[in-house]
Amino acid sequence: IEFEFSGFDGIIRGDANLLDLVFSNFIFNAIDAIEESDDDSGVVSIEHKFENGSHNFYISDSGVKLPSGAIFEPFKTTKLKGNGLGLALSLEIINAHKGSVAVQNEPKLFTISLP
């Protein structure tokens, strides 16, 4: 799996341990999505842009598409290994930091915005 990182230059004020948990969760989900695909390899991309007073992180991967339904709902998962709390907890942590999470499926992209 290839990782692409671009654009980060700045300081974010917040709970480093909780934000680490959020970004780790999104990266592990991207790796799982690639492993679930039929491809032997894949790409995880994380891009940062400072726009309109917010730090925006764009996270995408070349793995399987997102399942339909409420992916941020606790205890909902399509994975064999997992309890369905990762995205729900990540959303709560970002909300507690006065940020937001947006998702789109075509192309698959998560956008995490932090003030």
CATH number at residue 50: 3.30.565.10
What pLDDT score was predicted for residue 80?
Answer: 57
Q: Strands of 43-51's sheet, edge to edge?
A: 2-6, 43-51, 54-61, 108-114, 100-105
Q: For residue 74, what pLDDT is reported?
A: 60
pTM: 0.86
Tracing tokens 């930091």 back to the chain, one arrives at 97
- Looking at the structure of the chain, the number of domains it has is 1
Task: Give the pLDDT of residue 26.
Answer: 94
Reported as a single tens digit per residue, the pLDDT across 53-103 is 899 999 999 998 887 766 767 656 666 566 667 888 999 999 999 999 999
Per-residue pLDDT reduced to its tens digit, 1-60 = 999 999 877 788 899 999 999 999 999 999 988 988 888 789 999 999 998 889 999 999
Residue 70 domain boundaries? 2-114
